[in-house]
Structure 1
């Protein structure tokens, strides 16, 4: 199927690659279908693009690439909701807030997106962890928090 995207114009996506957010994303409850698109030449980042709304798109990254000590435990209801059978089936993404220059960009460790790569069910979860914030530097380091400008 073809979808219109914010960054790539029209792209062809396979329906089996559509990620389903049962309750949408916080602030976008009616947006329940997304796809992950590669950013050419930059494997550390992807685009989480709404299938329904061309202008709704998030740049995401694997938080473990930037914060190797990042860890959290999924609660039982999330494991059940996403139908997770084993840890290897999931991928975790943090939403990036792009800034100029790029080095000032941040990513959200407090609300990661968890995707079951097998079932294609996903959810953005909210962590109650004192070390994780919504604005961590993408330059990495041990939980380098960036205050609001």
Structure 2
């Protein structure tokens, strides 16, 4: 099926590519169907695009590429809601706030996107632990692994 996107124009996706965010994203609770679109295989970035509304798309980043010691625990409730059983089924992304230059852009480490790639569902969680990651972490340079 073809969908219109915010950043890439019209793209072809398969039904199997659609991710369901049962609770939507913070500020976009009504949007539940998204797709991950690659930007460049060598970059730790992608696009999370609403399937139904082309104007709703987010640049997202693999947070471990920018903060190698980034870690957090997922609550039992979240694990259940995401049907997570195996660690290898988990993808973690952070929403990017783009500025005039890449060096001035930030990623949201406080509210990561957790995706169960096997079950095709996701959830944005707000971290409650004592590490208190920032809402706007600078993307100035790559620290960790981009893959």
TM-score by length of 1: 0.90
Whether the 8 Å CA contact 2:102–2:140 is kept in 1: the answer is no
Deviation at 1:41, TM superposition (A): 6.2
Residue aligning to 2:132: 131
User: 1:140, 1:40 → 2: CA distance?
Assistant: 17
Matches within 5 A, 1:1-149: 1-40=1-40, 42-129=42-129, 130-140=131-141
Question: Are 2:23 and 2:29, in contact at CA under 8 Å, matched by a contact in 1?
Answer: yes
Matched residues in 1 for 2:128 and 2:97: separation? 20
Structure 1 residue matching 2:30: 3-state secondary structure: coil
Tell me the secondary structure at the aligned position of residue 99 of structure 2. Answer: coil
- 2: distance between equivalents of 1:49 and 1:11? 11
1:146 match = none
Structure 2 stretches of 5 or more lacking a match? none
1:40 to partner: Cα distance:
3.4
Tell me the CA shift for residue 131 of structure 1: 3.3
Q: For residues 85-108 of structure 1, what are the alpha-carbon distances to aligned partners after superposition, in whole Å with 9 as ceiling and x for unaligned? A: 111110000000000122100000
Secondary structure of the residue aligned to 1:34 is strand
For structure 1, the residue ranges without an aligned partner over 5 or more in a row are: 143-149
Judge conservation of contact 1:67–1:140 (CA < 8 Å) in 2.
no
TM-superposed CA distance for 1:27, in Å, is: 1.1
In structure 2, the CA distance between the partners of 1:141 and 1:10, relative to structure 1 (3 Å rule), is closer
Q: Work out whether residues 103 and 141 of structure 2, in 8 Å CA contact, stay in contact via their aligned partners in 1.
A: no
The count of residues paired between Structure 1 and Structure 2 equals: 142
